[in-house]
Amino acid sequence: MTVPVRTLDDGAWISVNNARAVSNSAVWPVAGVEFCDCEVAHLLPESFYDVSVDRDTVAVGTIVQCIDCGGHGTIDALPVGRVVNGEFREFDTGAIRSPAAGDQ
């Protein structure tokens, strides 16, 4: 089963299954980013430039800013949620995320 995913509104949103699923208005705690030294960086996604599905995991490519140190960078594949029985379920926004393994 293929789940259609795409970016919307010049990268302000991620669409999953033709429904708006993820916006660039949340702050995500992310561990292991390369562009700043924060152990857990709190990242504000400024825009999404890519979205993909690997098995059931939806990952985004995004330009982010760390609100802890002000660092800027990009993450090519940051898992943001899963597709379960055809429905997108975003990860808990308080849970620490990390870039997809093997992507760096």
Q: Is 41 in the site for Zn ion (CB under 5 A)?
A: yes
Quick check: helix, strand or coil at residue 37?
A: coil
CA distance 99 to 33: 7
Nearer to Zn ion by Cβ, of 3 and 40: the residue is 40
Instruction: Please say which residue, 46 or 56, places its beta carbon nearer to Zn ion.
Output: 46
Nearest to 78 by CA among 93, 97, 94: 97
Among 29, 32, 71, 79, binds Zn ion (CB under 5 A): 71
5 binds Zn ion (CB under 5 A): no
Q: Least distance in Å: CB of 10 to Zn ion?
A: 25
Length, in residues, of the chain: 104
